[in-house]
C-alpha cells in the first residue's frame, strides 16, 4: 500500500467520522429543541397554576371555580352549602335539584334543598348564568355575566327567589331570551 493510498484511506475515514459526528450533533440539537419546547410548556403551565394560587390567596378565586362556570350558594356572602354548575347546565326546576352539602359528625349525608334558597352566585369569566323566579324559566329573570361575584342576592331582591337557571358561554347569551 502506497503512502498516497494510506492518506486516501485516512481521509475517507475522517469524512465518514465527520458525517457520523454531524449526524450525532444534529440529533442532539433536535433532542435539545424538543426538551426546550417541553420545558417551555411546563414553565407556562406552572406560571398559570401560580397565578391561580395567587388569585385564590387574594380572594379573587374560590375553590371549584376552575372547573365550574358558576357556583350557587345557600347563604349570603357565598357561605353555607354550594353547588357548582357547568357550562350547558339547563336546570328547569330547582325543586328537583338536590345536592349533598356535606356530612354530619357521624358521616351521614346532609341533603340540601335549592328551590328558592339561593342567596349568592359566582360566575367565571367568559360565562353567564340566567336565573329565573319560577320553574321552567318563568317569572322575573336576572342575567349575570362573568366574571362576577354576587354575594348578597337579598340586597337586590333576589334572595331565596330562584327556581330555575341556565349556564352557558357569553357568546350563547341569546339562549336566555
Enumerate the domain spans of the chain. 1-61, 70-176
Q: Which residues pair with 90 in a beta bridge?
A: 166
Q: What is the pLDDT of residue 59?
A: 54
pLDDT at 89: 85
pTM (global) more than 0.75: no
Q: How far is 112 from 91, CA to CA, in rounded Å?
A: 16
Q: CA 80, 85, 150: angle at the middle one, nearest 5?
A: 55
Q: What is the pLDDT of residue 41?
A: 72
pLDDT at 152: 95
Which residue, 110, 116, 136, is CA-closest to 72? Answer: 116
Mind listing the pLDDT tens digit for each residue in 13-46?
A: 777 777 887 888 888 778 777 777 777 777 777 7
What is the structure's pLDDT at 51? Answer: 75
Per-residue pLDDT at 99: 47
The model's pLDDT over 47-59, given as tens digits with 9 standing for 90+, comes to 777 776 776 565 5
Question: Does residue 87 contact residue 127 with C-beta atoms inside 8 Å?
Answer: yes
Confidence at 4, pLDDT banded by 50, 70, 90:
low
Q: What is the pLDDT of residue 44?
A: 73
pLDDT tens, 69-126? 999 988 999 888 888 888 888 888 877 665 444 444 444 444 557 889 999 999 999 9
80 CB-side CA count, 13 A: 18
Beta bridge partners of 150: 121
CATH topology of domain 70-176: Gamma-B Crystallin; domain 1 (2.60.20)
% helix / strand / coil in the chain, to the nearest 5?
40, 30, 30
Amino acid at each position: 500500500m502506497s503512502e498516497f493510498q494510506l492518506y486516501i484511506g485516512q481521509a475517507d475515514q475522517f469524512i465518514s467520522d465527520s458525517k457520523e459526528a454531524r449526524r450525532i450533533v444534529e440529533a442532539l440539537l433536535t433532542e435539545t429543541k424538543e426538551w426546550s419546547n417541553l420545558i417551555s410548556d411546563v414553565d407556562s403551565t406552572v406560571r398559570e397554576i401560580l397565578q391561580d394560587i395567587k388569585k385564590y390567596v387574594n380572594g379573587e378565586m374560590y375553590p371549584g371555580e376552575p372547573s365550574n362556570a358558576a357556583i350557587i350558594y345557600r347563604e349570603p356572602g357565598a357561605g353555607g352549602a354550594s353547588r357548582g354548575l357547568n357550562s350547558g347546565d339547563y336546570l328547569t326546576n330547582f325543586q328537583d335539584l338536590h345536592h349533598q352539602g356535606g356530612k354530619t359528625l357521624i358521616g351521614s349525608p346532609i341533603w340540601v334543598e335549592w328551590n328558592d334558597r339561593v342567596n349568592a352566585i359566582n360566575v367565571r369569566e367568559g360565562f353567564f348564568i340566567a336565573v329565573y323566579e319560577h320553574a321552567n324559566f318563568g317569572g322575573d329573570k336576572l342575567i349575570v355575566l362573568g366574571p362576577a361575584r354576587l354575594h348578597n342576592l337579598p340586597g337586590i331582591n333576589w334572595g331565596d327567589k330562584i327556581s330555575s337557571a341556565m349556564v352557558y358561554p357569553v357568546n350563547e347569551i341569546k339562549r336566555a331570551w
